[in-house]
Amino acid sequence: MTGLSSIVTNPYLLLLLSCHLLSDYYFQSQKMADHKDQDKKVLGLHVLYVALPLFVVSLCHLDLWWICLTILLTHAGIDFLKPIVQKQLNLPTGWTFALDQVLHVGIISFLVLWGAKNGTTYLPIDSLKLIFYVLLVGKPTNIVFKILFAKYQPTMEEKMDTITGAGSMIGFLERLIIGACLVYGQFASIGLVFTAKSIARYNKISENPAFAEYYLIGSLFSILSALFAAWLCL
C-alpha cells in the first residue's frame, strides 16, 4: 500500500509513538484511567509505566535520552493538568480525550522531527510499521469507538448474553485480517470477513433492532479504522 506510510519513514518516530501506545493504552487499565485524575498515587504509577518503554529506548539509543526525558515530563504535566483544564473549560469527555492525545502525539512528533536525526534502529522500518499498525488497531481503536459512540450503545435491557471482552477481541482480530488482506492485495476478502461476522450474529441482529444498529456502526467503524491505520502504517 501507499499513503502516509510512504512519508512516515523516521524509525525514531515510529518507535516513540509505539511507546506512547503501549504506555497510554496497553499498560494502563480502565480502572487506572478512571482514577488517575483524582488519585495522585495512581497518576504516579501511570507515569512510571510511561517511563518504562522510554527508558528501554533511551538505553538502546543513547542519542534519544533527552527526547525520552522530555516526553516523560510533558506526559506527566499534561495528565496532571488535564482534569483541571477539563473542569475549568467544562469540556466533554470526548474533547478532553482528543486534546490529550493530540498534545501527546504532537509533542513526540515535534521532538523527533526537530531534534533527532533520521537514525537507524535494531528493527527494520517495515517491522516498526507493522508493530505500530498492530498496536494502533487494538486497544486504542476500541477505546476511541467506545468514546465516540457511547450514546448508541444498547441499554442493559436491550443487551443479549455475550462474553465480556469478546466484542473487542473480535474487532481487533477483524482489523488484523483486514490489514493482512490489504498487504496481500486480497481486497475482496474484506467483504467475506464482514459477511462471516453477520452470519454469526444473525439471530441477535434479526431479533434486536438496537443491537443490529450498534453492530452495524461498530463493524463499519472497525473497517474504516483498519483502512485508515493501514494507510498510515503499511
Which cell goes with 16?
A: 516513540
Q: What are the tens digits of pLDDT across the range 180-226?
A: 999 888 888 888 888 888 887 878 888 888 888 888 999 999 999 99
Q: Are residues 221 and 177 in the same domain?
A: yes
Structural domain contains residue 132: no
pLDDT of res. 160: 53
User: What is the C-alpha separation between 69 and 230, in angstroms, rounded?
Assistant: 30
Q: Are residues 43 and 87 in the same domain?
A: yes
Q: Are residues 12 and 102 in the same domain?
A: yes
Which ranges in 90-187 belong to alpha helices (H)? 93-115, 125-136, 139-148, 166-183
Q: Are residues 106 and 26 in the same domain?
A: yes
Q: Between 193 and 100, name the one with better pLDDT.
A: 100
- Report yes or no: 194 and 227 within 8 Å, Cβ to Cβ: no
Domain containing 189 equals: 151-233
Whole-structure pTM value: 0.90
Q: Are residues 167 and 112 in the same domain?
A: no
Which cell goes with 127?
A: 517491522
Q: What is the mean pLDDT of residues 166-185?
A: 91
Q: What is the 3-state secondary structure (H, E, C) of 70-107?
A: HHHHHHHHHHHHHHHHHHHHCCCHHHHHHHHHHHHHHH
Q: Are residues 109 and 164 in the same domain?
A: no
Q: Are residues 91 and 8 in the same domain?
A: yes
- Total domain count for the chain? 2
Q: What are the tens digits of pLDDT across the range 119-133?
A: 778 889 899 999 999
User: What is the C-alpha separation between 170 and 105, in angstroms, rounded?
Assistant: 27
Distances (CA, A) of 119 to 68, 104, 116, 167, 231: 15, 22, 8, 40, 23
pLDDT of res. 146: 92
